[in-house]
């Protein structure tokens, strides 16, 4: 009965990540890692998901870069282990912060310089391109405000859950 419920949860997690644009292999890895209470090896992850070591390794590099998964190297072992934080709010918050810092912040800094270059060097077809870039910049600035508010809301939610968790363990 527990195995059935476990499998249903792993499949639900995999489905949710597929809906967010992850491929099948990566989605199954996330589902398998999320339910694991401790870190597991790459080999065990390959067995649990049914994917090759190579496919799992490639997906893990992506997930580690995204900050969703931690790579752990144990002393005196050649094996690599992985762990996924069970706090969905914290995981989402870290992902959003990375996305904000790497993409939005970079774009917001680079776009005014690009716009200035367009304005200085008028060419026949550049007016339409300039308009597209300026519109994109306006959207980046507006999206940045939304992201900041969303990150603040997630931080508030994270604080609420950490207080709830502390209250439950103290009782």
- How many CB atoms lie under 10 A from the CB of residue 68? 22
pLDDT in tens, 92-146: 787 777 777 777 888 989 999 999 999 888 776 788 899 999 999 999 999 888 8
Write phi, then psi, for 117 (nearest 5 degrees): -60, -40
- Is residue 33 within 8 Å of residue 4, measured between CB atoms? no
- Is residue 61 within 8 Å of residue 24, measured between CB atoms? no
Examine the pLDDT at 170 and tell me if it is beyond 70. Answer: no
Mean pLDDT (the chain, rounded) = 86
- Is residue 83 within 8 Å of residue 70, measured between CB atoms? yes
Distances (CA, A) of 93 to 34, 50, 128, 149: 16, 30, 37, 12
Expressed in percent and rounded to 5, the helix, strand and coil fractions of the chain are: 75, 5, 15
Q: Which of 15-24, 77-86, 120-129 has the lowest mean pLDDT?
A: 120-129
- Most distant pair of Cα atoms in the chain: their distance: 72
Q: Which of 56-70, 111-125, 151-165 has the lowest mean pLDDT?
A: 151-165
Q: Higher pLDDT residue, 87 or 7?
A: 7
- Is residue 49 within 8 Å of residue 25, measured between CB atoms? yes
Q: What is the pLDDT of residue 166?
A: 52
**pTM (2 d.p.):** 0.67
* Exposure string for 30-59, b = 16+ CB within 10 A, e = fewer: bbbbbebeebbebebbbebbebeeebbeeb
The mean pLDDT value for 11-16 works out to 92
């Amino acid at each position: 009965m527990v195995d059935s419920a476990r499998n249903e949860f792993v499949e639900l997690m995999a489905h949710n990540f597929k809906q967010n644009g992850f491929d099948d292999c990566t989605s199954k890895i996330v589902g398998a890692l999320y339910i694991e209470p401790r870190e597991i090896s790459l080999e065990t992850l390959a067995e649990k998901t049914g994917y090759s070591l190579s496919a799992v390794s490639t997906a893990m590099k992506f997930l580690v870069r995204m900050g969703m998964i931690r790579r752990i190297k144990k002393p005196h072992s050649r094996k690599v282990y992985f762990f996924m934080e069970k706090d969905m709010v914290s995981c989402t918050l870290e992902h959003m912060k990375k996305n904000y810092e790497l993409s939005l912040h970079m774009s917001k800094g680079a776009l005014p310089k690009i716009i200035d270059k367009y304005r200085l060097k008028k060419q026949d077809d550049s007016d339409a391109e300039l308009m597209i870039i300026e519109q994109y910049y306006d959207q980046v600035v507006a999206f940045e405000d939304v992201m900041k508010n969303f990150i603040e809301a997630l931080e508030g939610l994270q604080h609420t859950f950490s207080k709830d968790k502390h209250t439950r363990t103290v009782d």
